[in-house]
């Protein structure tokens, strides 16, 4: 049964608003989502809805925007000095363009993604809202496997697959605000998130 410190594997379809909504993403054509239940990496409401389920159980539930990625925040759209994005005095137009998702890091070293909204001579306007901010979500799927997490997995805070363990600090989202940088280590500020992670 799904409970704290269980490793949960599941397939899901994520749709906008309800079961008849547009498909946002699914895992059925790839690897299942696998995570340690109850350690704070997933949306709390997502975990609440899965509590008590067993292997092969199916699920279908809605999560309101306020319990998912929150309402759209105008203050998460900010102007950053264009110098942050320059390499050798030039803007890399292959990766910095309107509509591009740019991986950046906050002062804690956590990855956050910002969307380029506008580029001027002096600034790059970035939107650090989660892509699903303001959106009600509907999940449906099935539990494919359950097991106890090992002491090492619990200590490390993530699942170790096939004897490997990859210490990727980007397994969670919802990074807090603060000083941030691009992967080229230039500073700016704000936070964001991704997927169905918290």
pLDDT at 108: 79
In CATH, what number does 74-131+176-189 get?
2.40.10.330
Question: From CA 67, how far away is CA 17, in angstroms rounded?
Answer: 13
pLDDT block averages, 10 residues each, the chain of length 198: 96 96 96 95 96 97 96 93 90 91 82 92 94 96 96 90 45 32 39 40
- 89: left (phi > 0), else alpha (psi -120 to 50), else beta? left
> For the chain, what is the total number of helices (H) and then of strands (E)?
2, 13
Contact of 59 with 139, CB cutoff 8 Å: yes
* CA-based end-to-end distance of the chain: 22
**Whether the predicted model's global pTM rises above the 0.75 cut:** no
- Would you list the domain boundaries of the chain? 6-69+132-156, 74-131+176-189
pLDDT at 183: 46
May I ask the CATH class of domain 6-69+132-156?
alpha beta
Question: From CA 35, how far away is CA 157, in angstroms rounded?
Answer: 9
């Amino acid at each position: 049964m799904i409970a704290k410190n269980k490793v949960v594997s599941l397939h899901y379809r994520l749709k906008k608003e309800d079961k008849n909504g547009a498909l946002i993403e699914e895992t059925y054509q790839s690897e299942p989502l696998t995570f340690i239940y109850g350690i704070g990496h997933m949306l709390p409401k997502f975990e609440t809805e899965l509590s008590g389920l067993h292997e092969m159980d199916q699920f279908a539930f809605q999560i309101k925007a306020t319990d998912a990625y929150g309402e759209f925040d105008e203050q998460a759209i900010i102007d950053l000095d264009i110098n942050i994005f320059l390499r050798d005095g030039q803007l890399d137009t292959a990766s910095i363009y309107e509509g591009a998702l740019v991986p950046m890091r906050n002062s804690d070293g956590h990855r956050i993604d910002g969307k380029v909204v506008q580029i001027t001579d002096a600034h790059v306007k970035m939107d650090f809202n989660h892509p699903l901010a303001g959106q009600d979500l509907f999940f449906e799927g099935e539990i494919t496997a359950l097991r106890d997490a090992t002491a090492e997995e619990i200590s490390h805070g993530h699942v170790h697959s096939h004897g490997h363990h990859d210490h990727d600090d980007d397994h969670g989202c919802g990074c807090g605000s603060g000083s941030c940088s691009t992967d080229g280590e230039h500073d700016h500020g704000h936070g964001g998130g991704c997927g169905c992670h918290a």
